[in-house]
Chains A and B, each alone.
Chain A
Amino acid sequence: MKCKKVHTRLLSFYEGTLPQGEMEQVKRHLDQCETCRQLYHQILASWKMAGEERIPYQPFFYTRVRQRMANQSRPAGSRVRHLARTAIQPALFFVVLGLGITIGIQLGKGIGSQQTAQVENQQNEYLEAYAENQFWNGFQLESLEQELFFADTTSLTRSLNKQEDSHE
């Protein structure tokens, strides 16, 4: 049997599940081929180690499950905040923008001077640019904040769990 063929039969050889003839062929090859023999031992070593790994009974596990359930059942506050950030904030910007423009137009009509109209146009442009920026930033900030917030809470629960572990 060639090395390459042996390589795909190492685990089955270890388990003894190959057909009788192949079992013997692999054994003969491993007796003769140093490279394959080493590979066999290395693969077997990692295989056994992964199987052995076991986490024992965790005494405070139920308490933690209960705690998390309690935390999950009152996310109302954060939902309102989320809504505020995603919907109400941008909406407010449009309202402010609209108001600015209307007031600007009314003022322009009232005074009628070219100079003030110019200034007021500039103001509108500025206001528009500002609102637009704020609007987009609002969205970008929002997802960034969410990422950060999420990362924070998970690392926080992890470190809390770790602390608990060390008390156990």
Chain B
Amino acid sequence: MRDEQIIQGIRNGEEAAFKELVDKYQELVINVCNRFLHNKDDALDVSQDVFIKAYHSIDRFRGQSRISTWLYRIAVNESLNYLRDRKRKNIFSSLDVLFSNPGSDPLEKVEDNDDIAPAKMERQEQKDLLYRAIESLPKKQRVALTLNKLEELPYKEVAEIMDITVSETGVLINRAKKALQKKMVAELKKN
């Protein structure tokens, strides 16, 4: 099924067309969500909402951009919203831990994870180093860098997804790269 047929099919309420959309683009959506969330379960969870949102707003899709661009945009927005909500919820749950368990230190549990192989830990640490650095970037820089460097999308498509110009995209990515390296160097020097 071609993309235009998929869109038309969904508008006509054809189940098969929606299934085609999900099957064709699930990897794209799940992976871009994972780029922001760094967790498979969360990425799958948010991706479901991305497709539901796409389904309900299919009439707003004008067909000037590609389906992938449109889905990317929804996926980025949903992922960022999810992160924002999680941050809020974390504040509540950490308060919860503090009040319900005044005797125990929540950090204690994390530290007795010694049975993980050191090589694997190192890999995870290396990944975390980058993720922390990326998360510390201003939102637009983070999105531009993630889409261009990790999703390997060209500037033009990043610009379309973010609804900015190509030159603005370039500026964002350059700034992001510089800040990212500074942050990583600083963290590595600390250890």
Contact = CB atoms under 8 A, between A and B. Distances in A.
Contacts of B44: 55, 58, 61, 64, 161
Contact of A58 (B30, B126, B189): B30
Contact of A7 (B22, B93, B131, B182): B182
Interface stretch (B45-53, B65-73, B158-166): B45-53
A42 interface: yes
Contacts of B22: 61-62, 65
A7 B43 CA distance: 32
A48 B19 CA distance: 33
Interface string A45-57: 1110111011111
B184 interface: yes
Interface stretch (A8-16, A25-33, A78-86, A121-129): A8-16
Given A42-B126, A68-B48, A62 B182 contact: no
B35 to A, nearest CB: 8
A161 B177 CA distance: 36
A151 B89 contact: yes
B177 A11 contact: yes
A158 B41 contact: yes
A147 interface: yes
Contacts, number: 93
B84 interface: no
A43 interface: yes
A70 B157 CA distance: 33
Contacts of B92: 147
A7 B129 CA distance: 15
A56 to B, nearest CB: 7
Interface in B108-131: 123, 126-127, 129-131
Contacts of A157: 45
Interface residues of B, number: 40
A144 to B, nearest CB: 9
A13 B43 CA distance: 32
Contacts of A10: 181
A43 B185 contact: yes
A48 to B, nearest CB: 9
Contact of B127 (A49, A54, A64, A154): A49
Residue with the greatest number of chain B CB neighbours at <10 A, chosen from A61, A68, A72: A61
A39 B185 contact: yes
Contacts of A61: 22-23, 26, 30, 44, 47-48
B114 to A, nearest CB: 23
Interface string A148-168: 000100100110011000000
A55 B40 contact: yes
Given A58-B44, A61-B48, 20 more contacts: A7-B181, A9-B181, A11-B180, A12-B177, A39-B189, A46-B130, A49-B126, A49-B127, A50-B131, A51-B150, A53-B127, A61-B47, A62-B22, A65-B48, A65-B51, A68-B48, A68-B49, A68-B52, A69-B52, A158-B41
15 contacts: A7-B181, A7-B182, A47-B130, A49-B126, A50-B130, A50-B131, A51-B152, A55-B43, A58-B44, A61-B22, A62-B26, A64-B48, A65-B48, A72-B52, A161-B45
